[in-house]
Amino acid sequence: MTNAATRTRLEWDSDKIRALFPTLQRRVAEYPLVYLDCAATSLRPESVITEGCNFCRHHDGNPHRGMHALSYEATEVYKSSRQAVADWLQAPDSSSVVITRNATAAINLVAGGLRGKLGSGDNIVLTHMEHHANLIPWQQLAKQSGAELRFVPLTEDGQLQTDMLPSLVDDRTRVVAVTHVSNVLGTINPIALFAKAARRVGAFSLVDSAQAVGHLPVSFAELDVDFMVFSAHKCYGPAGLGFLIGKKAALEQLSPAEYGGDMIEYVSYEEATWAEIPQRFEAGTANSQAVAAFPESIRFIESLGTAAIRAHEKEITAYALKRISAFEGMRILGPEDAHLRGGLVSFYDPYVPPHDMSTILDEHGVAVRAGHHCAQPLHRLLGIPASTRASFGVYSTTDDVDALIQGITEARKLFTRKY
C-alpha cells in the first residue's frame, strides 16, 4: 500500500487513473462520457468489478450457514471485509462494523433500534442540510415517541450555525445526527464539535459520511462519534452494500430493527434470543459479492491516498466554482471557498431550469444530477424548486469541467433567446 501522506500532487496521473474505469470508455450521445455524478454513485474500477465476479466464480456460498467449504470461505470473506473496513476507518474492531444495504438502511437501523427508548420531552437534533436519509428515519422516530425534532440552522453561505449547538442540545437531547459533507451545498461540517456536544449531555451522535468516505481522510476514532454510516457505491464500491460503524457501548443499546435468520442465537416457537453484535443487526443474507468486492475499493482508494484524493477534488472544485460562477446571474449553493467544501458544486441558473439543463448536458455526454437531490426541505429553505449538481471523483479533470461549461453555455443560448 502506498503511504498516502507522502504522495505528492505531481504524482497524480489522471490518464492512468481514468484507464482503470471501464465505464469511462463508453460514449453518450456520440460524445465521450463526462461523468459528473459521483455524489449519486461513483463509477467502479475494473479491479472492484473483477473481485465481485471472482466471489461468484470461486466461493459463492452463504456465510454463517453451512459447514461446507464454500460456506466457510464466504464466512471468511465477510470477516476479512469487516476487518478491512475497521482498519481503514479506524473503528475499534471488526465487531463494530455492521453490514447493511446502504447508508439509508444503516440510519434506519439506528433510528429503528431506538424505538421505544425515547419519550415526549426528549429531542433529536438534526440540521437543515440533511439528506432525506438522515431526516425521515428521525421524523418517524419522533412521531412514534413524541420526541421533538430540532434543527441546526444554516449561515448565509451554507455552513452550519454551530454556535447554536449549546442552546439546541440540552439534557433531553437523545440523538444528534449530522451529515459529514452536504450532498447539496458541499459543506464539510465540523463533526467532532457535534460529537462533543452530544457527549456532554449523554446523547447518541451519528454522522452520515456518505459523501465523505473515499473523498476525504476519515477516521471514526478521531471524530469520536457513536455511529457512522456510509454506502459502498459512493466510494468506488458495489451497490447494495453499506456500513454502520458503532462504538460497542452504543451498539449495545440498540434493539434489532429487523428479525429473522442470522441475527438470532436460540429460537423456540414463542421466543428468540439475539446473536452477538454485529450479527444481531444483520438479519438475512447480505449482498455477498459486494461484501467480497469492497476491500478492493479500499485498496484502490488507498493506492492513491485519501489526502491526495482530497487535494485533487479540491482543485477540480475550485476550478468548477470559478468557471460556473462566471456566468451572469448564476447562483452557487454553499460556501464559495473550495477549502470548506467536498467535491461537488450545485448551482441554480435563473435562465435554465435544472431539468432542462441536465437534458441539454446529457446530449453533450455530460452526466449531472438535476432535482432536489433528496433534500426537498433544504431547497425550499433556499427558495429554489431544484438545482443542478456537478460532483467529482478521482477520475474528474478540468477538461470535464470545461465540457460542463460548454454545455451550460449552449443551454443558456437556447434559453435566453427571445421566442
Partner 1 sequence: MNLDALYREVIMAHHQHPAGRDPLPEVSASAHGYNPSCGDEFEVNIHVEDGRIAGIQVDGHGCAISQAAGSMLSQVAVGLKVELLEDLIDAFRSMLKTGEPDSTLPGDLPVLSGVSQFPVRIKCASLPMTTTLEAIAKL
Ligand X SMILES: Cc1ncc(COP(=O)(O)O)c(C=O)c1O
Active-site residues: which are they?
374
Amino acid at 365: G
Instruction: Please choose which of ligand X, partner 1, none residue 68 contacts, taking the beta carbon within 5 to 8 angstroms, the exact cut-off set by kind.
Output: none
Among 159, 211, 297, 388, binds ligand X (CB under 6 A): 211
Nearer residue to partner 1 within complex by CB, 90 or 359: 359
Q: Is 418 in the site for partner 1 (CB under 8 A)?
A: yes
Nearer residue to ligand X within complex by CB, 108 or 411: 108
Closest C-alpha among 410, 393, 52 to residue 213:
393
CA distances from 386 to 11, 184, 376 (A): 38, 10, 8
The end-to-end CA distance of the chain, in Å, is: 59
CA distances from 279 to 6, 252, 276 (A): 38, 12, 6
Count Cβ atoms below 10 Å from residue 397 Cβ, excluding itself: 17
Q: Is 409 in the site for partner 1 (CB under 8 A)?
A: no
E strands of 172-289, at which residues? 173-179, 204-208, 227-231, 242-246, 264-267, 272-274
**Alpha-carbon gap, residue 225 to 206, rounded angstroms:** 6
Which string of x and - marks every residue 15-54 that binds partner 1 (by CB under 8 A)? Answer: --------------x-------------------------
Q: Is 391 in the site for ligand X (CB under 6 A)?
A: no
Q: Is 353 in the site for partner 1 (CB under 8 A)?
A: yes
Beta partners for residue 341, in sequence order: 187
Kindly state the DSSP code that residue 189 receives in the 8-state scheme: P
Segment near partner 1 (CB under 8 A); pick from 35-43, 45-53, 289-297, 354-362: 354-362
Residue 64: CA count within 13 A, CB half-sphere? 18
Span 241-270, contacts to ligand X by CB under 6 A: 242
Amino acid at 348: Y
Segment near partner 1 (CB under 8 A); pick from 108-116, 245-253, 259-267, 347-355: 347-355
Binding residues for ligand X, how many (CB under 6 A)? 15
Segment near partner 1 (CB under 8 A); pick from 5-13, 186-194, 327-335, 370-378: 370-378
* Cell numbers that stand for 243 in this block: 456500513
Query: Can you give the binding site for ligand X, defined by CB under 6 A?
Result: 39, 102-104, 131, 133-134, 179, 183, 208, 210-211, 231, 242, 374
Query: Can you give the binding site for partner 1, defined by CB under 8 A?
Result: 29, 353-356, 359-360, 363, 370-372, 376, 379, 385-386, 414-415, 417-419
